[in-house]
Structure 1
Amino acid sequence: MPLYRDDAVVLHTHDLGEADRIITMLTRGRGRVAAVAKGVRRTTSRFGARLEPFTVVDLQCYEGRSLDTVTQAVTLAPYGAWLARDYHRYTAGAVILETAERLSAPTPNPALYRLTVAAIGSLARGEHDPVATADAYLLRALALSGWAPSFGDCARCGRPGPHHLFASSAGGIVCEACAPRGSLEVDRRTLGTLVGLLSGVWTLVDGTVPEDGRARRRAHEIVAGYTQHHLERRVRSLPHVAPDDRS
């Protein structure tokens, strides 16, 4: 069995037998990997807490037919321990990990790996509002997967914007002539927030007046709907995340 080494962020775990655990990870060089960590649930395990969700590790594995086997894991960033101290950051992080698992495959995707680790790190350091961090991740991860939303010209006919209607099924902002039934109204502040989330221009997102708080809540609603539409399966952790009403 070939031995390999890679950097990885742990996405989720589930128990196997009496002492083992299957670890699902997003790796830098191999994409999504599932591997068995033998004896990890024993108090004497050499892995300790290094293979818990959100942790970034330097990983060594034996490649198997269906499941690989973890032989060594060195902690690079213990983000899980930091996020567990704050409910809002933790739930936002759960959305990121679940989405990363849905969008990844057992093929290399270093851009998605870098984006995921950067988002979890930003959450752990408290750089921005947790919901905004998760929303930015969702838009950028979907863009990497070929579902980049249009926030300028009409997503259907290309008519130059600005426009004020959004339709997930159309791929973003649409003009009135192209808007399908159920399109959402988008005001100027909300559109600016969405542009900031996708582009990483945080000055468009981190507002300080009540209108910006309302725009973030509306933007979150749009991002959540857009994500669910394109993933075609419910992101279970997403309903537990909501912008702070005090914003």
Structure 2
Amino acid sequence: MASRPSFRDRAVVIRSYDFGEADRVIVLLTKQHGLVRAVAKGVRRAKSRFGSRLQLFVNLDVQLYSGRNLATITQADTIDYFGAQLIDDYDKYTAACVMLEAAERLSLDDDPFLYELVIDTLKDLQDTKRPMLVLDTFLLLAMKHAGWAPSLFNCAQCGAPGPHHAFHPAIGGASCGNCRPPGAAEVDPETLHIMWLISHGHESNATVAQAGEAHQLIRAHLQWHLERKVNALSVMDQELQ
């Protein structure tokens, strides 16, 4: 009988959960194979060969065997570990958890962009004093790559040039007065400009108030298009209130 195909890839651990008596399912965002769910056999035993490596915020070089429903991890070597600067800082930790959960929802097959963006964002979170801004930059770039970035200057409905004072995810972002739907948020046009800057890789000198407003707009747009809550975002936002 032919052996199952194996493959090697770079991957970052997105999440994990127990499986059976001693195994664990590791959800990996890989560079070349998209999202991969794989079993790490015996990883919960004290003498596991690589259990300590299969943790959140670890960038790995992994060898896997394909399976019908789950792959199997046969080798895992640590390339980078980002957790040391995150786990003792609540704001950085929660921002990183939101990023990983969002990355799982936004992942596409055979697309290295999101993997590279996750790694770059984990690096940026190491020394930042504004983790929420780093997270929001990630979310805007990831949504842009997925094809549903918010319109931040022109009206998302009719294309009328801005700046505009309203925003609603149902129409795709900024809204002019004529197209403004019920329930649209009243926003400072400078906040939309800040969102445009960070989504295009530029630095922003946003005030705390502007950064908070931008975060709420980005959060609303993300969850509207995902059609489900990002649980880690709810935890993060409870601390901001």
TM-score normalized with structure 1 length: 0.91
**What SS class does the counterpart of residue 190 from structure 1 fall into?**
helix
The alpha-carbon deviation at position 80 of structure 1 amounts to 2.5
Alignment match, 1:164: 165
- In the alignment, is the contact (CA less than 8 A) between 2:165 and 2:175 conserved in 1? yes
Rounded to whole Å, the distance in 1 between the matches of 2:239 and 2:161 is 34
Alignment match, 1:109: 111
Aligned pair 1:40/2:27, yes or no? no
The alpha-carbon deviation at position 127 of structure 1 amounts to 2.9
Equivalences for 1:74-113 in 2 at 5 Å? Answer: 74-105=77-108, 107-113=109-115
- In the alignment, is the contact (CA less than 8 A) between 2:106 and 2:146 conserved in 1? yes
Rounded to whole Å, the distance in 1 between the matches of 2:167 and 2:189 is 12
Aligned pair 1:22/2:25, yes or no? yes
Rounded to whole Å, the distance in 2 between the matches of 1:85 and 1:46 is 26
Deviations 1:63-114 (A, max 9, x none): 1111111011111111123311211111011110101111114x21111111
Aligned pair 1:149/2:150, yes or no? yes
- In the alignment, is the contact (CA less than 8 A) between 2:153 and 2:192 conserved in 1? no
**What SS class does the counterpart of residue 49 from structure 1 fall into?**
helix
Aligned pair 1:55/2:58, yes or no? yes
| Counterpart amino acid of residue 213 in structure 2 | R
Aligned pair 1:238/2:241, yes or no? no
The size of the alignment, in residue pairs, is 237
Rounded to whole Å, the distance in 2 between the matches of 1:84 and 1:127 is 14
Shift in CA distance, 119/243, structure 1 to aligned 2, threshold 3 Å: farther
Alignment match, 2:209: 214
Give the 4+ runs in structure 1 shifted more than 6 A: none
| Counterpart amino acid of residue 62 in structure 1 | Y
Alignment match, 1:121: 123
The alpha-carbon deviation at position 128 of structure 1 amounts to 4.9
- In the alignment, is the contact (CA less than 8 A) between 2:39 and 2:70 conserved in 1? yes
- Where structure 2 has 5 or more consecutive residues not aligned to the other structure, the ranges are none
Rounded to whole Å, the distance in 2 between the matches of 1:96 and 1:14 is 18
- In the alignment, is the contact (CA less than 8 A) between 2:153 and 2:193 conserved in 1? no
Alignment match, 2:221: 226
- In the alignment, is the contact (CA less than 8 A) between 2:166 and 2:176 conserved in 1? yes
- In the alignment, is the contact (CA less than 8 A) between 1:23 and 1:36 conserved in 2? yes
The alpha-carbon deviation at position 196 of structure 1 amounts to 2.3
| Counterpart amino acid of residue 40 in structure 2 | A
Question: Which shows bigger deviation, 26-35 or 184-193?
Answer: 184-193
- In the alignment, is the contact (CA less than 8 A) between 2:154 and 2:163 conserved in 1? yes
The share of aligned pairs that are identical, in percent, is 44
Equivalences for 1:178-197 in 2 at 5 Å? Answer: 178-197=179-198
| Counterpart amino acid of residue 122 in structure 2 | I
Rounded to whole Å, the distance in 1 between the matches of 2:193 and 2:208 is 13
Alignment match, 1:177: 178
- In the alignment, is the contact (CA less than 8 A) between 1:220 and 1:243 conserved in 2? no
The alpha-carbon deviation at position 126 of structure 1 amounts to 2.1
**What SS class does the counterpart of residue 136 from structure 1 fall into?**
helix
| Counterpart amino acid of residue 148 in structure 1 | A
- In the alignment, is the contact (CA less than 8 A) between 1:29 and 1:108 conserved in 2? yes
